[in-house]
Amino acid sequence: MMKASVIGLGKLGSPLAACLAARGLTVIGVDQDPRKVEAINQGQPPVHEPGLAEMLAQSEGRLTATADIEAAVHDTQITFIVVSTPSDPAGGFSLRYVEPVCQAIGRALAKKNEYHLVCLTSTVMPGTTGGPVREMLEKASGKRMGGGKGKDFGLCYSPEFIALGSVIRDFLNPDMLLIGESDAHAGDVLQSLYAQVCENKPSVARMAFVNAEVTKLAVNTYVTTKISYANMLARICERLPGANVDVITSALGLDTRIGAKYLKGAVSYGGPCFPRDNLALVQLAQQLGVPPDLAQTVDRFNRLQGIWLADLVQHRVQHRKQGTVGILGLTYKAGTDVVEEAVGFLLTKELASRGMKVLAFDPAYGKISAPAAIANVSFATTAIECISKSDLVVLATSWPEFSAIPGGQWVRPGDPRTVIDCWRAVKFLHDTPGVDYLGLGIGEGFV
């Protein structure tokens, strides 16, 4: 089994390191945050991710952590770079965290006499892996990329297609493996490692760096387009009595040219990847003189969904002369504590900025990482408290525990409590006395 180093122990790096170690590899994790290093060395999850604690236990001491990149590279045969590549003002990705990592890796490679494979998993703009990343590694190491099994190094670009909240499942059971390779030997080494780790037998797509870099952006942008199409159908259904977006998308997904995944029909997509990857493809198209209209329209439509939802809430509150708005769910999806571009988080901020009284609850918000601030918002300690103290409730994130709340907890005798269900997760409340239920995507004559 190879020895691997994983640089960056954040929300993707920690699960990746744990999965590799649990499958038998000796792994050295690297991070400049001493709290993450200490957590890993104590066998504790440094980030919130379902199943990570169990995966760390299965590693049985094969995973250790340090802040020393050079030592980790020296003692391993393959290095995964899993650091953040933040969006830059132009819409692309910054390499400000990748650069010092590549320089440190290069210094370590200069002292090694055996072959080493470097694998970049962070999302980058096309031309980056074979351009700046290769140049930094070669300059710092004095070695050349490629060269097969000799003393030089191999380089791969292999981004993961995983979602927070299901990182471990997605990593161990990927739909496909995308490998951009410097040469055939580098690709062979990485594919061999994946074969040792994956529980399934995914398709493997091997190609040049630039093709892999474009593919990563293209996959996520295609998915956001599909999500937005389903959301448009949901808005149409809401204005047609008797229409139901679930019935329509279920039929739509039976067509093998389309498929059922990501056809939920709800509200805007969010998270750390989809919105920015969509914008990155816009920037790439513009730089190359290609009309970016499709990706731009998807981004604009998605952002307007949050405003539409805020307008709907405000209209219902004013029409019913209600007061407190309860928001159930601030994270962008169940199973994660990330609120970046999350519909519930953005809705909460928007309603508060309009002077409305907002009470929010989320099972994971601020439990491990420091919570993003929201001004002029109160927080409930439980979902039931949030419901009971609110006149109108928006179920913004489909946490399973929300749909498990008994119907009686939602009921308010006399003046019914309004429930806006973005995911149709509590559609059993439809026609329940004491509840004014609005399920997005269901023909209720929305205004």
DSSP state of 376: T
Query: How many other CB atoms are there within 10 angstroms of residue 314's CB atom?
Result: 17
Q: Which residue has the tokens 């900025």?
A: 353
Alpha carbons 72 and 148: distance in angstroms, whole number? 22
Torsion over CA: 166, 170, 175, 177 (sign)? positive
Q: What is the CA radius of gyration of the chain?
A: 24
Measured over the CA atoms of residue 134, residue 137, residue 141 and residue 147, the dihedral's sign is: negative
Catalytic residue among 119, 156, 237, 273: 273
In the chain, the amino acid numbered 329 is G
Q: In terms of Cα–Cα distance, which of 136, 108, 139, 107 is closest to 120?
A: 136
β-bridge partners, 93: 87
Residues 6+ apart with CB under 8 A from 191: 177, 179, 204, 206
Length of the chain: 447
As a whole number of angstroms, the distance between CA 249 and CA 440 comes to 14
In the Cβ-directed half-sphere of 243, how many Cα atoms lie within 13 Å? 19
* Residue 19 annotated among the catalytic residues of the structure: no
> Whose CA is closest to 95, among 120, 73, 118, 116?
120
> Phi then psi for 244, rounded to 5 degrees?
-145, 115
Helical (H) or strand (E) element with 207: strand 203-207
Are 326 and 332 in contact, with CB atoms under 8 Å apart?
no
- In whole angstroms, what is the distance from residue 192 CA to residue 289 CA? 39
Q: Are 338 and 332 in contact (CB under 8 A)?
A: yes
Please answer whether residues 307 and 233 qualify as being in contact, where contact means their C-beta atoms are separated by less than 8 angstroms: no
Closest CA to 164 of 336, 21, 297: 336
209-238 and 245-253 are packed helices; what angle lies between their axes, rounded to 10 degrees?
140
Burial class (CB in 10 A: 0-12, 13-18, 19+), 404: exposed
Residues annotated as part of the active site: 273
